[in-house]
Amino acid sequence: VNIQIANFMKKFTDLLEKDSRNRGIKIDCYTAPEVDAAQLDPRALHQVFLNIVGNAFEALENVEKPKITIRVSKLPNLIRFNIHDNGHGIREENLQDIFRPFFTTKTEGSGLGLNIVQKILSRMNGSIKVESQPGTGTKVTIDIPEERCENG
């Protein structure tokens, strides 16, 4: 499906607004003007973002001035999504395991979220990279090929 990325991101952040307000989390989303449309499955992309932002929400518990920043930019033939939070961060020894099925450091959670995200993105020929420092937060970078629909 050909989806307008800016429109998709606006709808997605609107959907999060009540939950983020209740948690006191500020969400800042910016889509660069040159980011247009892409051939993507909106439900799959929605699932990816729900997982990533859900993790960020949890990482932001008991953090002063909790914030999630989402930046969408265009690279040659790619759309890049940067999701950055100022949460607790992930310890280095856990970073290598976060995509492993059933790996979790949470008291509740299946440990399947990021594994599923990775599978969804690989079906889209996309990629995900996670950088994190304990105490400073986590940055998730998602790259998805910009496959254009010529007639639509």
**pLDDT, tens only, 24-38:** 999 999 999 999 888
Name the nearest CA neighbour of 50 among 16, 1, 11, 90. Answer: 16
pTM of whole model > 0.85? Answer: yes
Residue 14's pLDDT is 95
Residues of the chain where predicted confidence (pLDDT) is lower than 50: 149-152
Contact 118, 110 (CB under 8 A): no
Helices in the chain by DSSP H: which ranges? 5-23, 42-59, 92-95, 113-123
Q: What is the pLDDT of residue 152?
A: 38
As given in the structure block, the two tokens for residue 39 are 């051939």
Question: Among 123, 143, 130, 138, which Cα is nearest to 96's?
Answer: 130
Q: Which residues sit opposite 2 in a β-bridge? A: 39
The angle at the Cα of 20, spanning 130 to 66, to the nearest 5 degrees, equals 60
